[in-house]
């Protein structure tokens, strides 16, 4: 009985999200799966100059005054760490439109990420 109630509560909560919130969530999920072409630009507010521009299939994560930009390339992945301060800020723009659903949520299941990659050190 508790499982049935939990399922109905979950469905009810999912139904409360607006179309814009659902589309935004799905775009973010696609970006985290390296399916969205982005440009991330770092700007110095004091000198009015661009510091750095990163463009590609990139996922961004901001925390504690630092931005992590992970990009997928033809040969693998590249990760950049950039410090943010009072005078340095960034903006990220999506370079192409992406067709995502505004009414359905996504569940991404990757069984290979569940199985750990074990290195044996002698």
Residue owning tokens 């040969």:
75
Residues 27-77: tens digit of each pLDDT: 888 888 898 999 999 988 899 888 899 999 999 998 888 999 999 999 999
- Asked if the model's pLDDT at residue 103 lies above 80, the reply is no
Rounded-to-integer distance, Cα 52 and Cα 84, Å: 12
**CA 48 distance to own-chain centroid:** 27
Number of domains in the chain: 1
Q: Looking at the domain assignment, is residue 54 inside a domain?
A: yes
CB-based contact 71:54 (threshold 8 Å)? yes
Calculate the dihedral angle through the C-alpha atoms of 97, 28, 34, 59, rounding to the nearest 10 degrees: 120
Q: Looking at the domain assignment, is residue 121 inside a domain?
A: no
In terms of Cβ atoms closer than 10 Å to its own Cβ (0-12, 13-18, 19+), residue 59 is buried
Range of the domain at 61: 2-114
């Amino acid at each position: 009985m508790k499982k049935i109630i939990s399922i109905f509560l979950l469905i009810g909560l999912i139904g409360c999200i607006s179309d814009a919130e659902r589309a935004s969530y799905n775009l973010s999920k696609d970006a985290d799966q390296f399916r969205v072409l982005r440009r991330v630009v770092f700007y110095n507010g004091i000198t009015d100059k661009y510091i750095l521009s990163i463009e590609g299939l990139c996922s961004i994560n901001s925390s504690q005054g630092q931005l992590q930009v992970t990009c997928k390339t033809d040969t693998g992945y590249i990760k950049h760490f950039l410090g943010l301060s009072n005078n340095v800020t960034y903006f990220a723009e999506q370079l192409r439109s992406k067709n995502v659903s505004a009414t359905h949520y996504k569940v991404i299941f990757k069984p290979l990420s569940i199985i750990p990659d074990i290195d044996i050190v002698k």
